[in-house]
Amino acid sequence: MTPPLLLTLPLLVCLGSAALAHLCPRRAWPRRGVALAAMLALTAVGLLLLVEVRRQGVLAVQLGEWAAPFGITLVADLLSALLVLIAGVMGLTVVLYSAATLAPELEAGAYYALVLVLVGGVCGGFLTGDLFNLFVWFEVMLGASFVLLALEAKQEQFEATLKYMTLSLVGSAVLLTAVGMLYGVAGTLNMADLATRLPGLERPGLVSTVAVLFLVAFSLKAGAFPLFFWLPASYHTPPVAVTTLFSALLTKVGVYALVRTFTLLFTQDVGLTHTVLLVMGGLTMVTGVLGAVAQYDVRRLLSFHIISQIGYLLAGLGLLTQEALAALIAFLVHYIFAKSALFLVSGATARASGTYDLQQMGNLYRSHPLLAALFFVPALSLAGVPPFSGFFAKLALIRAALRAEHWLIAGTAAGVGLLTLFSMMKIWREAFWKGHPQDPAAKQEAPSSVNVGWGVLGPCAALALVMGVLGLGARPLLELADAAAGQLLEPTGYIQAVLRRPP
């Protein structure tokens, strides 16, 4: 396939099928079918894109053949292509899980169209080569997420949506301000063009100010310290399928935007910006994991762990060495799968025990041994226990921190890993190991409780399998991450691909 087709298809597939899904009759199965087909197609296109970028280097296309600094640019380097592929895989998993768990009237409504718009917005964010378009894709994604959050129209969801929406809109306002200021300073918003112009500007102080504004806006979207409050206030209210989608993709676009802008654009004043990133990363890790300790609602607990893991990613970006960026990318991949698997399993445990409250659960190890195994893999992986994917990602990150002689961040990362393990063991002990609180006799005989079908367990098992593969075959992933990090640190390929005159 030609580059124009490969780069446009992810967006066309998502947005076109969202429109198609909404034109379908108001029943569950046609809309589900459209969503399933779209996500399969997106995964396939993502894979082709990754293969092609690996072979040819950075791909770029100018929509409508309007030349680069003026037109709409789509670019894919290894990081973007990898993330588009992951968006496809996660979309597919979530659609399958939704089909097994959601109420039919929800599926028959706007649900799938919104999921597709959200995934389309996420892919747009990954592929765009222009900061203003990045803002637009953020809005597409957020618009869909607001509605998804409140789709069941429960009171707690409205409360959560209100908080989430308010803080997101504040973030969007800051982002738009930053974009406007940067345009005023540099006269362009095309990222490749900016990368060539920013170093030559006469007012470095102003550029640093804009950089910090971007840092605030994107770290709010990513859920980093100290602007993460919207996340644990909202993520536990929608159906588990929606939470999984949010945790897999939404905050990751924020992280991706940070990585893109703080490797390509704002590297003039590393002493300021990247030190701030390091400190934020460390604090995000610690506050997230400490916040999780106090929680007994599984989904809230996992939401705090999202924040904690975002801290690792920020720390990797703050170190800004090739090794650290490679570790960041490997960590990002591992963590999207691990966290999503944990959310899916939390949905399954809630189906099995009828509650999300850890104190009310118990004995699931006996009644649902397979479910217990499926929890164990991502939990250990998230905590960074070998041989699962999390171990290698975390090890690479800590090693990069040690090489860069940032002892404090390396120690924090290791310590937070232990606390994460503690948190995961808490879920294990409460939900799976201990006897059921209402029924002490249940310890001896496995109760014939709710059967959790393969529709629910299948997606969990698939993700656990991915984690096993990424752990045992960590080398290809680390090599890919290393190549992607090389592209980030040496952006001439990116700049040339974008600014080349169209044939």
Partner 1 sequence: MNPVVLCTVARMMAPVLLLFSLVLTVRGHDSPGGGFVGGLLATAAFTLLLVAQPEELVRRRPRVDPTRLAITGLLVALGSGLPALFLGRPFLTGLWAQVPLPGGGALKLGTPQLFDAGVYLLVLGTAMAFILGLLHGEEEEAREREG
Residues in contact with partner 1 by CB under 8 A are: 2, 4-5, 8, 12, 15-16, 19-20, 22-23, 26, 61-65, 72, 502
- Residue 228, φ and ψ in degrees, nearest 5: -100, 0
Q: Which is nearer to partner 1, 70 or 454 (CB)?
A: 70
Exposed/middle/buried for 15, CB within 10 Å: 0-12, 13-18, 19+? buried
Question: How far apart are CB 81 and partner 1 at their closest, in Å?
Answer: 17
What is the DSSP annotation of 255-287? Answer: HHHHHHIIIII--TTHHHHHHHHHHHHHHHHHH
β partners of residue 357: 297
Q: Residue 261 corresponds to which amino acid?
A: T
Cβ proximity to partner 1, 493 vs 502, nearer residue = 502
Distance CA 248, CA 338 (A): 9
In Å, the largest CA–CA distance within the chain is 76
Cβ closest to partner 1, residue 137 vs residue 376: 137
Instruction: Using the minimum distance from each CB to partner 1, give the nearer residue, 104 or 502.
Output: 502
Q: How far is the CB of 480 from partner 1 (least distance, A)?
A: 27
Rounded Cα gap, residues 468 and 491, in angstroms? 33
| DSSP-assigned letter for residue 372 | H
Find the length of the chain: 503
By three-state DSSP, how is residue 229 classified?
coil
Closest CB to partner 1 among residues 63, 290? 63
CB 24, min distance to partner 1, A: 11
Q: Name the residue nearer to partner 1 (CB basis): 148 or 395.
A: 148
Minimum Å gap between C-beta 478 and partner 1 is 34
> What's the gap between Cα 437 and its chain centre?
35
CA angle 12, 15, 16 (to 5 degrees): 70
| Nearest distance in Å: CB 149, partner 1 | 20
Angle at 361 between CA 355 and CA 366, to 5 degrees: 125
CB of 4 to partner 1, least distance (A): 4
In whole angstroms, the minimum distance from the beta carbon of 7 to partner 1 comes to 8
Q: Smaller CB distance to partner 1: residue 62 or 367?
A: 62
Cis previous bond, 447, omega within 30: no
H-helix segments, 24-77: 28-56
